[in-house]
Amino acid sequence: MSLVTVTINDKKLQVEEGTSILEAAKSANIYIPTLCHMNLHGGVEHNPGSCRVCVVEIEGRKNLAPSCNTMVAEGMVINTNSIRAITSRRTVVELLLSDHPQDCLLCEKNMHCELQALAADMGIREMKYKGEMSTFPKDFSSASIERNLDKCILCRRCVTACGKIQTVSVLSAVNRGFHTIISPAFGLPMVDTNCTFCGQCVSVCPTGALTQVNNTTKVWEALNHKDKFVIVQTAPAVRAA
């Protein structure tokens, strides 16, 4: 594969053609925050470009570009730290928080939540935008996986893990706009789908939208109703380092 020369934050480097700006920056130890992007073992990439947390400025282009799914090109001059890029990323996180429950201290993912970590990194201390909040029904039907869609940021990592890694394809995006959710077809509860309860979706979820059931009573109940519940040990994380 041929090499291209790009400049990132005044640093000239050579990277393989077809490399994303994010990967090129990483190779030069330049940090760009991400949220929806992930690399999985086995070479599976997930770059929906949906969150816009990774935007950068490219010389000669009017719009900011998501670095995770914009490929480098010969002579490209990129600025990852311009005021415009930093302000846009911050606004994206503030908007995500504006439709996110404010119960971090009670959340299963507290201190392990990527949205929480990003907000802390960016020094966000208060809710800038306030408005209508999502109020989707929670899905506690399964003995091993709980779904709290109010905490979903629509990164679709679970869709990729379920479809491309586990090849079960239980989860997909449905509806439009503010009503978009990640759900089994026809809004079925997890227990009524062909989910194998492998836990891959839980392991890649950046927030508390998908969590592992942590309730011994529920597990015992399920063990006594095997016809209704399926219990499979949660699989190890599939995310690459």
Binding site for ligand FES (CB under 6 A): 34-37, 49-54, 66, 68
* 161 vs 198 by CB, closer to ligand FES: 161
Instruction: Please report how close the Cβ of residue 196 comes to ligand FES at its closest, in angstroms.
Output: 28
Query: How many whole angstroms separate alpha carbon 199 and alpha carbon 170?
Result: 12
Instruction: Please report how close the Cβ of residue 241 comes to ligand FES at its closest, in angstroms.
Output: 17
Q: What are phi and psi of 159, to 5 degrees?
A: -65, -45
Instruction: Please report how close the Cβ of residue 54 comes to ligand FES at its closest, in angstroms.
Output: 3
Please name which of 48, 14, 206, 28 lies closest in space to residue 115, comparing C-alpha atoms.
206
Instruction: Please report how close the Cβ of residue 155 comes to ligand FES at its closest, in angstroms.
Output: 7
* 52 vs 151 by CB, closer to ligand FES: 52
Helix H or strand E segment including 86: helix 83-98
Which DSSP string corresponds to 183-228?
A: ESGGG--GGGS------HHHHH-SSSSEEE---HHHHHHHHTTTTT
Instruction: Please report how close the Cβ of residue 65 comes to ligand FES at its closest, in angstroms.
Output: 9
Query: How many whole angstroms separate alpha carbon 64 and alpha carbon 62?
Result: 7
Q: What are phi and psi of 113, to 5 degrees?
A: -95, 130
* 80 vs 193 by CB, closer to ligand FES: 80
* 49 vs 101 by CB, closer to ligand FES: 49
* 20 vs 203 by CB, closer to ligand FES: 20
